[in-house]
Chains A and B, each alone.
Chain A
Amino acid sequence: MIRALLFKEWLKIRWFWAAALAIHVAIFLRIFFDIRGRIGAEHAEMVWYQTVHLGTLLYSDIRYLPLLTGLVLAAAQFIPEILGRRLRLTLHLPMHRDSMLLICLAAGLSGLLSLCFLSAVSIPLILAKTFPIPVALSSLPTMLPWILAGVLAYLGGVTLLLETTWPRRVLLIFVFSILIALHYSGRGYGWLTPALPWLIALAPLFLAAVFESGRRFRQRGA
């Protein structure tokens, strides 16, 4: 049944995932050509100086990509279920509610994290063509908070869609927006690196929030 559920979730998100993949690839290409253009327009050593000592991020175009991808995948998975009242049926399958939700989340998170993994490989590779290895590697801790923001946006989006009352939905939007905005603090590379363990610790709390909304969804018979 797990495979069937995962397949069902994949069917729901596949076209959105493919579109997100195409956008990711387009942005990687844009970053690649932007860097090439800069190196052509200025002396390479000046671009190095701007990147290493002035903290210019040449890959900031992908900053909000995980966030938007997370929200789109959450919407693609859960809006049809809720509008068509199909989630109620799913939650009545002979499997614990939380396990059922976890499988749905695993499908969505796999889609999101596969694209994030692509970013985590592509951006350092693009940078390594023009910059020394330390610069390429510094992009990983810089991008990690953006990836975490994508995961939280996905989990937060699912929580909001499962929530049944508007006052609580508004409160959750407020709380999630603040916590996700935290991941975009600072400037330059590695600004948030010392806080990464704390940011990572938010993910399990967001996951628990999904289960709380799932419980309320089932109890209210939505």
Chain B
Amino acid sequence: MPRVMTRYSLVLLTVVALAYLMPAIFDTVFPRQSTNPLLLYSPVLNQFIYQESLGNHQFHYQDEAGRTYTRSEFEQQLPFLYYRNLELKGLLPPSIGGQAFDAETIRAERHAITIHSRRLKGHFPLLDLYPLFNNDPRVAIMPFPEDMFRFTDQTMEFINADDNRTDQELTESFTSALQEAGFVFPATVIGGNPTNLKPFDDGYFVRDSRGHVFHIRRVLNQPEVVKTSIDPGLDILDIIVSEHHRRELHGTIITTSGKVYLVTRESYRLISLPISGYDPGSMDFKLLIDPLHRTVTISNDQIVHGVAMDTAYRPLRTFTLPNRDLTPVPVLFLREFFFPFEITFESPYRSQAALRLVSGGPWSFAGILTALGLSFILRRRPPRHSGSWNDLAIIAMTGFYGLAAVHLLDET
């Protein structure tokens, strides 16, 4: 193998190792800080109010109009969120928005749906095997079923965990029920909660190969399949079922184009949420329901955007807040200067490796020029042969990583 190949293979390995490790060490020593805002809608102020982190467990509280608050004042503007604290302190207001609410009413009317990008379909490793809980009104707790189901190309197959064999009876029963309801195999999206830590079980929502969405439950060990009226033309990315004691919603549908629909319990009617700019691949979504309002926030590492709605999900007010970087400027400068790029497997939006080459910033060019200058000084002579020019090209592309690699691996 030509020497140029063997040497530069080692140089490349060194650059990759440094570009993976050094920025991570730097971030451990000098942690990145941002305001990481918590944006909420105040039914007292009828405007958005937010909390920003200042670092070292210090927070800043402010509303849209720029008025600042103490922690206690902040909580008083959000009685539906902090009702327990306010009740203990005797600060729960007698009326909110002209209506009286006691703590019990508030508790019964609150509901939060949080959808992290990293938990969306395709963003984490998933084996399509699910427990289908049996709805039996005679049993108080929700026992785990002895089987799990999966969708094959032609059946909804139940596999018994005790003997690891297909349960023919259940498989035929559910497959027949699905076929009678008009389900066309295979399934394309499966949404449900595979846990018994929930107040009741609402089964699974499954999209068939024609785009129709079916609601599948197991009631007294028998299939209950409903072909919903959900538009088969929707480009559904994921269906998030949320079993909540309010029983207003079955769950949430996220489409690949970033539209969000709530599936109501009223004949599966969809409510389209009035949000724009939502990218499910790189943003987190949160819906807060309280007795007077519905508030959606979507966020990424750059912004948080909120839409406040009335109880009919009609938009009332929107507000966008930047997630400001609080990292000291010298730290940002040093990071960009020394690291023209970094290699990382981690992503805040995936629970699975996502190899990314993240570029530095404007100061990286200064770092590269400095690395080139240092290379000349270390050599003590101008480049003469092709090897030297190759080394300089490596340094010009990779900055200090390349400088370290070519000089530490220098033959002399």
Mark A residues whose CB is within 8 Å of B: 43-49, 52-53, 55, 98, 129-132, 134-135, 138, 167-168, 171-172, 174-176, 178-179, 182, 185-186, 188-195, 198, 202, 204-206, 208-209, 211-212, 215
Contact = CB atoms under 8 A, between A and B. Distances in A.
Given A45-B146, A45-B147, A191 B10 contact: no
Given A45-B161, A48-B161, A176-B13, 17 more contacts: A44-B161, A45-B148, A48-B129, A52-B127, A134-B127, A134-B128, A168-B409, A178-B17, A178-B20, A179-B16, A186-B352, A190-B352, A195-B353, A205-B9, A205-B10, A209-B13, A211-B6
Q: Shortest 4 CB-CB distances between A and B: which pairs? A: A208-B9, A190-B125, A212-B6, A44-B161
B129 A212 contact: no
B144 A46 contact: yes
A147 B81 CA distance: 50
B361 interface: no
B146 A171 contact: no
Nearest to A51: B127
Contacts of B129: 48, 52, 132, 134-135
Contact of A212 (B7, B345, B354): B7
B14 A194 contact: no
A113 to B, nearest CB: 21
Interface in B1-52: 1, 3, 5-7, 9-10, 12-14, 16-17, 20-21
A191 B353 CA distance: 6
Q: Which of B13, B14, B351 has the most CB of A within 10 A?
A: B13
25 contacts: A43-B146, A43-B161, A45-B148, A49-B144, A52-B129, A55-B125, A132-B129, A132-B150, A132-B159, A135-B127, A138-B127, A171-B14, A174-B17, A175-B10, A175-B13, A178-B17, A182-B20, A193-B353, A195-B345, A205-B9, A205-B13, A208-B5, A208-B9, A212-B3, A215-B3
A179 B144 contact: no
B10 A208 contact: yes
Contacts of B150: 132, 134
Contacts of B355: 194-195, 198
A47 B7 CA distance: 50
A189 B351 CA distance: 11
A160 B159 CA distance: 50
A46 B164 CA distance: 13
B20 A191 contact: no
A212 B17 CA distance: 18
A138 B150 CA distance: 15
Given A134-B127, A190-B352, A45 B144 contact: yes
Nearest to B353: A195
Contacts of A168: 408-409
Contacts of A138: 125, 127
Nearest to A214: B6
Nearest to A219: B411
B269 to A, nearest CB: 30
B194 interface: yes
B306 interface: no
B55 interface: no
A179 B127 contact: no
Contacts of A215: 3, 6
Nearest to A188: B125
A212 B5 CA distance: 9
Contacts of B20: 178-179, 182
Contacts of B144: 43, 45-46, 49
B383 interface: no
B194 A53 contact: yes
Contacts of B10: 172, 175, 205, 208-209, 212
Nearest to B162: A44
A167 B345 CA distance: 29
B244 to A, nearest CB: 20
Nearest to A187: B351
A194 B353 contact: yes
Contact of A131 (B17, B125, B164): B164
B127 A186 contact: no
A212 B353 contact: no
B145 interface: yes
Nearest to A137: B127
Nearest to B404: A171
A132 B352 CA distance: 23
A68 to B, nearest CB: 21
A187 to B, nearest CB: 9
B131 interface: yes
B14 to A, nearest CB: 5
A206 B3 contact: no
B352 A208 contact: no
A185 to B, nearest CB: 5
A172 B355 CA distance: 23
Interface string B104-136: 000000000000000000000101110100000
Scoring A175, A198, A215 by chain B CB atoms within 10 A of each residue's CB, the highest score goes to: A175
Interface string B310-340: 0000000000000000000000000000000
A26 B194 CA distance: 35
A52 B162 CA distance: 15
A195 B345 CA distance: 8
B352 A45 contact: no
A211 B1 CA distance: 7
